[in-house]
């Protein structure tokens, strides 16, 4: 089972062929092993959120579970986070510090041919001249490439903090160059946000302030651009700008974010339904202004979303869904931070895994401000599979080994213990 997660981790470098999604396989093969075990605190809210998503989907469109496109688009949450639960079902004794360091080196080097081809075709400064000159690596979308490279950069930082190395430093610089070349502003913002988090000592109040600020800012921008004369429940919109990147921002702030907030305002407690944002909804039946039932729905499993994970959760799952997920991500980061601190005291076992989970989770939170990245497999799987391997790790307790080992008796040196007469 461990090899399934390992193969999936190394295949996260591309989504042309989405084989990295096989990380959930242990769930299908060893589901009975869940019972009678203890788990970290973040597993409970993850299971609760997953159950809530399943219930919301069953109430909104149960046929989605039988549709392949649902798991590729609206329901990609299941693909992204199932490996975390799978990590509870198998075990290994690998050195994750070495394994993740090797993966970082592999993932950067495997992109060298692709980046060399990119530079040869458009030039290294093309992304500063027009939006078309962007590096896509081995991913279908530029934001997918940017998100993966941002998460990979966080892993590289963890490797460097564990063991300073000129090789890792050079690869980090090359990683940063490739990330910059994607022109994915959300991904760059996520990496930049990790720096003050590190500078302020990775304190819980920094994380809490960051989470609250991102959500408040998302809602504030949506409210500021909300127009009472626009029917946001309708779908057609027209926005044009000569600069594609500026037009992309206009669509977010002036249409998609206000539309998501309109959904949330119709059904603030439970949302309109999981996967509903890109659908055509004729009308909503409101109950006390807290819960709404969609009527006349035309289901569309498409790539259209709110381009903001927090507003997407509010629109489709309401306050209950967003609260459950934020509790999960908070406990995941605190578990990783505490694990990294303990690892420093106990021989640095799995230190890279714990620290990379902590840093990449913070990066993911910030990146999700401008895209729906909290459920995107290309962004999340590298984190999810690292969590899976860490949960399955069975590193021996070295302190117990030392305590139980017999203390060797000092050997007498000839002539040392002779008494003078």
**Of 244, 266, 298, the domain-final residue:** 298
Residue 355 forms part of a structural domain: yes
Residue 412 forms part of a structural domain: no
Rounded CA-CA distance 8/338 in Å is: 27
Rounded CA-CA distance 85/28 in Å is: 11
The reply to whether 391 and 279 lie within a common domain is no
**Of 298, 331, 360, the domain-final residue:** 298
Question: Cβ(367)–Cβ(373) under 8 Å?
Answer: yes
Instruction: Give residues with Cβ within 8 angstroms of 302, minimum separation 6.
Output: 73, 278
The reply to whether 24 and 106 lie within a common domain is yes
Residue 316 forms part of a structural domain: no
Coil, helix or strand at residue 281:
strand
**Strands 291-298, 280-287: pairing kind:** antiparallel
Question: Which domain does 228 fall in, by range?
Answer: 213-298
Mean pLDDT of the chain, nearest integer: 87
> How many domains is the chain built from?
2
The reply to whether 93 and 15 lie within a common domain is yes
pLDDT digits (tens, 9 = 90+) for 201-231: 999 999 999 999 999 999 999 999 998 888 8
Residue 403 forms part of a structural domain: no
Residue 144 forms part of a structural domain: yes
The reply to whether 56 and 195 lie within a common domain is yes
Confidence check: pLDDT of 403 > 50: no
Give the E-state strand segments of 218-311 in sequence order: 280-287, 291-298
pLDDT digits (tens, 9 = 90+) for 225-266: 998 888 887 766 665 555 666 667 778 888 899 999 999 999
The reply to whether 197 and 219 lie within a common domain is no
Q: What percent of the chain has pLDDT over 70?
A: 88
Residue 407 forms part of a structural domain: no
The reply to whether 95 and 172 lie within a common domain is yes
The reply to whether 249 and 112 lie within a common domain is no
The reply to whether 189 and 114 lie within a common domain is yes
Instruction: Give residues with Cβ within 8 angstroms of 360, minimum separation 6.
Output: 151, 154, 155, 382, 383, 386
The reply to whether 217 and 88 lie within a common domain is no
Name the residue among 291, 326, 100, 321 with its Cα closest to residue 207.
326
Measured in Å, how far apart are the chain's first and last C-alpha atoms? 71
The reply to whether 249 and 152 lie within a common domain is no
The more confidently predicted of residues 409 and 384 is 384
The reply to whether 155 and 72 lie within a common domain is yes
How does DSSP classify residue 253?
Answer: I
Confidence check: pLDDT of 314 > 70: yes
Model pTM? 0.90
The reply to whether 162 and 46 lie within a common domain is yes
Residue 207 forms part of a structural domain: no
Question: Cβ(60)–Cβ(292) under 8 Å?
Answer: no
Confidence check: pLDDT of 400 > 70: no
Residue 257 forms part of a structural domain: yes
How would DSSP label each residue in 9-75?
HHGGG--SS-GGGGGGHHHHHSGGGGTT----TTHHHHHHHHHHHHHHHHHH-GGGGG-HHHHHTTT
């Amino acid at each position: 089972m461990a090899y399934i997660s390992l193969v999936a981790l190394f295949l996260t470098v591309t989504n042309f062929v989405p084989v990295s999604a096989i990380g959930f396989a242990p769930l299908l093969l060893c589901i009975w092993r869940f019972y009678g075990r203890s788990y970290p605190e973040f597993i409970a809210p993850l299971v609760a959120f997953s159950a809530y998503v399943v219930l919301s989907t069953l109430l909104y469109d149960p046929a989605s579970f039988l549709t392949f496109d649902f798991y590729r688009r609206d329901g990609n949450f299941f693909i992204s986070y199932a490996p975390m639960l799978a990590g509870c079902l198998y075990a290994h004794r690998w050195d994750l510090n070495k394994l993740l360091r090797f993966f970082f080196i592999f993932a950067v080097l495997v992109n060298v041919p692709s980046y060399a081809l990119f530079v040869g075709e458009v030039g290294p400064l093309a992304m500063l001249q027009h939006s078309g000159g962007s590096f896509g690596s081995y991913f279908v979308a530029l934001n997918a490439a940017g998100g993966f490279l941002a998460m990979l950069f966080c892993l590289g930082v963890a490797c460097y903090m564990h063991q300073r190395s000129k090789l890792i430093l050079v690869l980090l610089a090359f990683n940063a160059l490739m990330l910059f070349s994607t022109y994915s502003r959300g991904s760059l913002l996520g990496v930049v946000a990790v720096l003050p988090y590190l500078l302020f000592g990775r304190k819980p109040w920094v994380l809490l302030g960051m989470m609250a600020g991102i959500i408040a800012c998302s809602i504030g921008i949506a409210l500021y651009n909300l127009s009472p004369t626009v029917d946001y429940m309708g779908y057609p919109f027209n926005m044009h700008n000569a600069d594609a990147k500026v037009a992309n921002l206009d669509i977010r702030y002036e249409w998609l974010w206000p539309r998501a907030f309109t959904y949330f305002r119709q059904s603030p407690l439970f949302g309109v339904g999981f996967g509903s944002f890109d659908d055509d909804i004729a009308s909503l039946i409101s109950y006390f202004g807290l819960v709404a039932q969609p009527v006349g729905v035309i289901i569309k499993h498409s790539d259209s979303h709110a381009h903001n994970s927090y507003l997407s959760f509010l629109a489709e799952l309401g306050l209950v869904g967003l609260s459950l997920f934020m509790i999960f991500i908070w406990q995941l980061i605190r578990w990783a931070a505490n694990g990294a601190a303990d690892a420093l005291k106990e021989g640095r076992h799995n230190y890279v895994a714990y620290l990379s989970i902590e840093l990449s989770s913070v990066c993911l939170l910030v990146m999700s401000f401008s895209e729906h990245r909290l459920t995107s497999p290309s962004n999340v799987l590298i984190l999810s599979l690292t969590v899976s391997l860490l949960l399955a790790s069975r590193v021996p307790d070295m302190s117990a080994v030392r305590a139980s080992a017999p203390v060797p008796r000092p050997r007498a040196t000839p002539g040392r213990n002779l008494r003078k007469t």
